[in-house]
Amino acid sequence: MKQYINNKILFTLIIGLIALFPSGCKLEDSVDPNNPSLDGVLTDASISELNNIVTGSESGMRDAIEYYLDDVGVVGREMYRFAGSEPRYTQDLLGQENATLDNNAFYTTRQWNASYRVIKNCNILLASIDNTQVPTAAQKEGYRAFANTIKAYEFLIALNLTGANGIRIDVADPDNLGPIVSYDDALTAIAALLNDASTQLDNAGDSFAFSLSNGFISIKPSPTAPLTPADFKKFNKALAARVAVYRKDFAGALNYLNESFFDINGDFQKGVFHVFSTASGDQLNRFFLAPNATGEVRVAQPDFRDDAIAAGQNADTRLLKISKRNATASQGGLSSDYDVAVYKSNTSAVPIIRNEELILIYAEAKIGTNALPEAVTAINRIRSGNNLTPYAGAVSQAALTTEMLNQRRYSLFCEGHRWVDMRRYDKLGELPIDRTGDDVWPAFPIPFAENVGQ
């Protein structure tokens, strides 16, 4: 955050981020994007000014998503990232020979900086709400709920990378930043933020004073209906369920699922997404690379396909998440015959959280509470939904945990989960070593700039 503590620079970033969204989220004429005034927002902000911050915050959530997916995908041995001009993807991230993770490299700083920019934007929104009389009391609660939910999500993304190294939670005052807190304390703080936001949503009335992108469209009653606080609460509770299983609060996870958009028989793709488009000024999905690309390549770690075939899962529809290349891709002693094909174009949406994950969270929580038949039911829903036969293994917590993690591996491939899952179950040692002497890292370092002056 230290590189982002200048408020006026940050508000300029907010306005710049708004320009990245489609025309449905445009600036009001009363705001001059070339000369924004933070003081004008922090005192007696108008609805349009507050909504600009909301729009900029949601847009900013997409800014470094490709770096996050590369980080966790490569370290978690889901994929290789080959780049002719950047060997650190196959050196540092895989621990080749004497390589280690650099606390000032792009793979450490880009997602961290993007997350904390969004968090700062949300803090500006919260400060603005406290100093304006324009919205109604219910509308203010809606803004607060949005800000706290998005803050919680961005803190969790940062924490997923740094793991046991922790993150900084107290960042509201840029001149008096709080300490780096432990992993467990950070999760506790994130859960509390989501709970606060849930209460605020209960007091936010029947409508928001702002609108969000089409990334929220599938959790609404209909595509044309406005997103309501009740709809957004389902997203909040879905995130809370994810955090709960990270904390091994399995009973809590089940309660949160009941208030989310979880549907064991529902569409796997129902959820909330980062959305992209070719509209002028908008962002493209930069994780997508064309099939059979050269120079810049993302390819599947061979075990993803090989393990499925060896297990007789030849018909698994999730194998369509990789595609056979015309020629083998190689770099640094690594090679693969299959491209990562999770995202089919440069406008494909990237999941924030979706129903297939929630079904797997339900399975995990049922395993954790020793309700094993219900866990098998959920696992079989995932298996049948992906063209597999029912689970036929042992019905024990250990066996079902292994099966649940395997289903998460295939269902959530290159969505940012595999490495985190294996770490939280102390199974990093089971990830493949790509070359003799390579390392599987347990966490990324805290960025160098965060430790200056500490």
List pLDDT tens digits, range 386-445.
Answer: 999 999 999 999 999 999 999 999 999 999 999 999 999 999 999 999 999 999 999 999
Q: What does the pLDDT average to over 59-73?
A: 97
Q: What does the pLDDT average to over 110-136?
A: 94
Q: Which of 39, 229, 41, 13 is nearest to 125 (CA)?
A: 41
pTM above the 0.85 mark?
A: yes
The full set of domain ranges for the chain reads: 296-340
Pairwise CA distance, residues 433 & 427, whole Å: 13
Beta-bridge mates of residue 354: 271
451 band by pLDDT with thresholds 50, 70 and 90: confident
Q: pLDDT by residue (tens digit) across 209-232?
A: 999 999 999 999 999 999 999 999
Q: Which of 254, 209, 199, 208 is nearest to 231 (CA)?
A: 208
Q: Do 364 and 341 meet the contact criterion of CB atoms below 8 Å apart?
A: no
134 band by pLDDT with thresholds 50, 70 and 90: confident
Poorest-confidence range of 1-5, 188-192, 221-225, 322-326? 1-5
Q: Kindly tell me if the per-residue pLDDT of 359 is higher than 60.
A: yes
Pairwise CA distance, residues 424 & 400, whole Å: 16
Q: Do 267 and 6 meet the contact criterion of CB atoms below 8 Å apart?
A: no
- Relative orientation angle of helices 47-60 and 7-18, to the nearest 10 degrees: 80
Pairwise CA distance, residues 180 & 182, whole Å: 7
Q: What does the pLDDT average to over 3-14?
A: 38
42 band by pLDDT with thresholds 50, 70 and 90: confident
Q: Kindly tell me if the per-residue pLDDT of 194 is higher than 60.
A: yes
Instruction: Specify the pLDDT at position 40.
Output: 63
Instruction: Specify the pLDDT at position 88.
Output: 97
Instruction: Specify the pLDDT at position 84.
Output: 86
Burial of 368 (0-12, 13-18, 19+ CB in 10 A): buried
Mean pLDDT score of the chain: 91
Q: Kindly tell me if the per-residue pLDDT of 13 is higher than 60.
A: no
Instruction: Specify the pLDDT at position 39.
Output: 62
117 band by pLDDT with thresholds 50, 70 and 90: very high
Q: pLDDT by residue (tens digit) across 241-293?
A: 999 999 999 999 999 999 999 999 999 999 999 999 999 989 999 999 999 99
Instruction: Specify the pLDDT at position 211.
Output: 96
Instruction: Specify the pLDDT at position 21.
Output: 38
Q: What does the pLDDT average to over 307-314?
A: 95
